[in-house]
């Protein structure tokens, strides 16, 4: 498959950056999504695939990406919950739609030297919250409101204390998206089994 995709550097602040297999799957979806509306034959049926959509089969994707079917299902559930994708499921395959594909596809345009005059292909980027919409550091009320909207049970005061102690940095880099960090904590929490009541945190 020819072409390229456009990525925002803010992807480094998204929970995907902490999950290499999930990031691999997301990039695969971006690269496999159709650039235009088109009709295609699949399993003996004609399907209409719209721009930003792709036909997705778990077994084929598992073999191609070397990721187990169980993990693929988990990551797709994450993407759907975060409104990154929408799924239309049949008993043999799914049609996956990249949320806001056209918006990000049209946000930037480049042309290769080979096809500059004729190629109208544009790039796509991961959906991330604009840094300008997020004050850093956030207030306790801001974090609480966001956590409550996601029903994730994260303690906002612990979240703020955790990153205040680190100068609101992730590693050596200044944090760009505290909401992405909340999502990372949330994903880690879902994968852990608590042995006692506790507030949850994730060391990044």
Claim: this prediction has a pTM higher than 0.75: no
Q: Which fold has domain 9-105?
A: Arc Repressor Mutant, subunit A (1.10.10)
pLDDT value of residue 67: 95
Domain boundaries, the chain: 9-105, 131-191
pLDDT on residue 66:
96
Average pLDDT, integer, range 36-52? 84
- Supply the pLDDT for residue 119: 37
CA within 13 Å, CB half, 35: 13
Residue 142 Cα distances to 78, 148, 189, angstroms = 23, 10, 20
pLDDT in tens, 45-99: 788 899 999 999 899 999 999 999 999 999 999 999 888 899 888 777 889 999 8
- What is the model's pLDDT at position 1? 55
Q: Nearest to residue 82, comparing CAs of 17, 127, 50, 121?
A: 127
pLDDT digit string, tens, across residues 125-141: 444 433 344 678 888 88
Q: Model confidence over 131-188: pLDDT tens digits?
A: 344 678 888 888 998 888 888 889 989 999 999 888 898 887 888 888 888 888 888 8
| Residue 153, CB-side half-sphere exposure with 13 Å CA sphere | 9
Three-state SS string over the chain comes to CCCCCCCCHHHHHCHHHHCHHHHHHHHHHHHHCCCCCEEEEECCEEEEECCCEEEECHHHHHHHHCCCHHHHHHHHHHHHHCCCEEEEECCCCEEEEECCHHHHHCCCCCCCCCCCCCCCCCCCCCCCCCHHHCCCCCCHHHHHHHHHHHCCCCCHHHHHHHHHCCCCEECCEECCCHHHHHHHHHHHHHHCCCCCCCCCCCCC
Highest mean pLDDT among 2-6, 37-41, 195-199: 37-41
In this structure, what are the phi and psi dihedrals at residue 85, rounded to the nearest 5 degrees?
Answer: -140, 165
Of 203 and 139, more confident: 139
Mean of pLDDT over the chain: 78
């Amino acid at each position: 498959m020819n072409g390229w995709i456009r990525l925002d550097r803010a992807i480094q602040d998204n929970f995907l950056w902490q999950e290499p297999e999930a990031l691999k799957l997301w990039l695969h979806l971006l690269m496999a999504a159709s650039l235009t509306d088109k009709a295609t034959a699949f399993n003996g049926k004609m399907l209409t695939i719209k721009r930003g959509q792709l036909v997705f089969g778990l077994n084929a994707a598992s073999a191609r990406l070397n990721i187990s079917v169980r993990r693929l299902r988990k990551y797709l559930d994450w993407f759907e919950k975060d409104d990154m994708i929408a799924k239309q499921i049949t008993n043999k395959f799914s049609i996956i739609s990249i949320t806001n594909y056209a918006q990000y596809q049209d946000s930037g345009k480049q042309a290769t030297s080979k096809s500059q005059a004729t190629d109208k292909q544009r790039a796509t980027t991961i959906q991330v919250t604009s840094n300008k919409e997020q004050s850093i550091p956030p207030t306790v009320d801001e974090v609480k409101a966001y956590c409550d909207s996601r029903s994730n049970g994260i303690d906002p005061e612990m979240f703020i204390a955790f990153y205040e102690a680190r100068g609101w940095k992730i590693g050596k880099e200044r944090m760009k998206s505290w909401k992405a960090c909340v999502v990372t904590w949330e994903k880690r929490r879902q994968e852990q089994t608590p042995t006692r009541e506790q507030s949850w945190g994730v060391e990044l």
